Amino acid sequence: MPNLTEAKIRPASFSFASAQEVEDQVPAAKPAFAIAEDVISRLNLCSNVSSTEKENNTPSYTFPAPQPKLESQWREMEWTDEQKASLMKTVSSYRPSCHEGTQARVLLLGPVGSGKSSFISSVQSVFNGRVTNRAMVGTSSTSFTKKLQSFNIHGQKGEDPTGLVLCDIVGLGGGEMTALTLHDILSVIKGHAPEGHKFSADQPVRSETVGYIKKPGLKDKIHCVAFVVDASKILTYPKGLGTTFRLLRKHISDLDIHQVALLTQIDQICPETAKDVTQVYKSRIIQDMMNKAGDLLGMSTSYIVPVKNYSSELKLNVNNDVLLLRAVDHILQYTDLYFQDNAPQHTGPKNDLGI
């Protein structure tokens, strides 16, 4: 069986071995661990895209013919300063239930250019009161993030940090240098991967990795996974991506980790929403793309929320802030389910009832 550094990349392959095969290790005299060849196949999501398409990097979506708006929102939303303040208080005061001192760690996982880093910066911008780029962002075809980075979302000036940590890793796809495997993703979720680990084909997460966490505690693990997909690319993603997402979700679900999804770039597919984000839940185009995102990810649309990240803007917009904060609140609801499911079972002293 080939070891991880010798195996050849099979671009068209998206199949993984079982989780047990991923974890199997061989004696120390041999390579640190052995994995079936299909497991170490890179999640190269650009493999089914021609080189011409990559080079041109042309817009992946053109606006369809205008469609009449829905008469009412298909999800209830309040677009007010009061709602923003309420959501900010909810997020900033959040602390994981039943686990004092632990922060909620959420892993953002998605294709290169889907908006993971932009989402982190956008959320932090809301609390900073101005647009900032805390997580550096690359181009739509190249992943700027190369390592595991954890961003503690800070509260408003003078307030304590929130109980939320957003974790960023290299995007799926984007060429052979991405080097992201199922093994590495699961190592991050299980808490074995050290902060700052740089993902590469020759250095997978293993026991010899500098800083490797042999016995991760609750504070080291991921408590929820948020998939991030670009609404303007849903129709042009490689055919194998849907299979990849389903296999990822299966292995992550086996770890009892709840998953949600963010649909980014909604302003790129709906002119009305681009002008006024409050129209997001009246847009038939976005509603339809939400359904397509659900099909791609293999999940109900009730787990998916649309967001508009800050990109070219220099000032915040209260309505956009509300949409971002609602997305964070959505993530925290599912994150807290992890802590509820893993709440410590206290067995107090038996009462002497005199029986």
Q: Where are the alpha helices (DSSP H) in 114-258?
A: 116-128, 182-190, 241-254
Say if 107 falls within a structural domain: yes
Task: Read off the pLDDT of each residue in 278-299 and give the average, rounded to a whole number.
Answer: 97
Residues 6+ positions from 286 with CB-CB distance below 8 Å: 231, 263, 266, 269, 270, 273, 280, 306
Ranges of beta strands (E only) in 162-321 are: 164-168, 224-230, 258-264, 304-306
Higher pLDDT, 67 or 33: 67
Is the pLDDT assigned to residue 64 strictly greater than 90? no
Say if 322 falls within a structural domain: yes
Residues 6+ positions from 245 with CB-CB distance below 8 Å: 227, 296, 297, 298
Enter the pTM of the model: 0.80
pLDDT tens across 231-264, in order?
999 999 998 999 999 999 999 999 999 999 999 9
Higher pLDDT, 176 or 117: 117
Other CB atoms within 10 A of residue 21 CB: 16
Say if 57 falls within a structural domain: no
Residues 6+ positions from 325 with CB-CB distance below 8 Å: 84, 87, 88, 91, 123, 126
Rounded Cα gap, residues 195 and 148, in angstroms? 6
Range of the domain at 318: 81-94+102-136+159-342
State residue 133 phi and psi, 5-degree precision.
Answer: -115, 80
Say if 39 falls within a structural domain: no
Domain count, the chain: 1
CA triplet 54, 166, 143: central angle to 5 degrees?
15
pLDDT of residue 154: 86
Q: Give the rounded distance of the alpha carbon of 260 from its chain centre.
A: 8
Say if 12 falls within a structural domain: no
pLDDT tens across 185-220, in order?
999 999 999 999 888 877 789 998 889 999 999 999
CA distances from 337 to 11, 172, 243 (A): 36, 27, 26
Is the pLDDT assigned to residue 48 strictly greater than 50? no
Rounded Cα gap, residues 40 and 25, in angstroms? 14
Instruction: State the chain's mean pLDDT as an integer.
Output: 80
Say if 61 falls within a structural domain: no
Is the pLDDT assigned to residue 26 strictly greater than 50? no
Is the pLDDT assigned to residue 30 strictly greater than 80? no
Is the pLDDT assigned to residue 280 strictly greater than 90? yes
Say if 188 falls within a structural domain: yes
Nearest Cα to Cα of residue 46 among 301, 202, 241, 205:
241
Q: Where are the alpha helices (DSSP H) in 139-279?
A: 182-190, 241-254, 271-275
The H or E element containing residue 303 is none
Nearest Cα to Cα of residue 288 among 93, 84, 74, 127:
74
Nearest Cα to Cα of residue 329 among 102, 86, 130:
86
pLDDT of residue 127: 94
State residue 287 phi and psi, 5-degree precision.
Answer: -60, -40
Is the pLDDT assigned to residue 112 strictly greater than 60? yes
Say if 267 falls within a structural domain: yes
CATH number assigned to the domain comprising residue 239: 3.40.50.300
Q: How confident is the model at residue 272 (pLDDT cuts 50, 70, 90)?
A: very high
pLDDT of residue 156: 77
Q: Which of 12-26, 134-148, 264-278, 291-305 has the lowest mean pLDDT?
A: 12-26
pLDDT of residue 178: 54
Tokens standing for 84? 């923003």
pLDDT of residue 56: 41
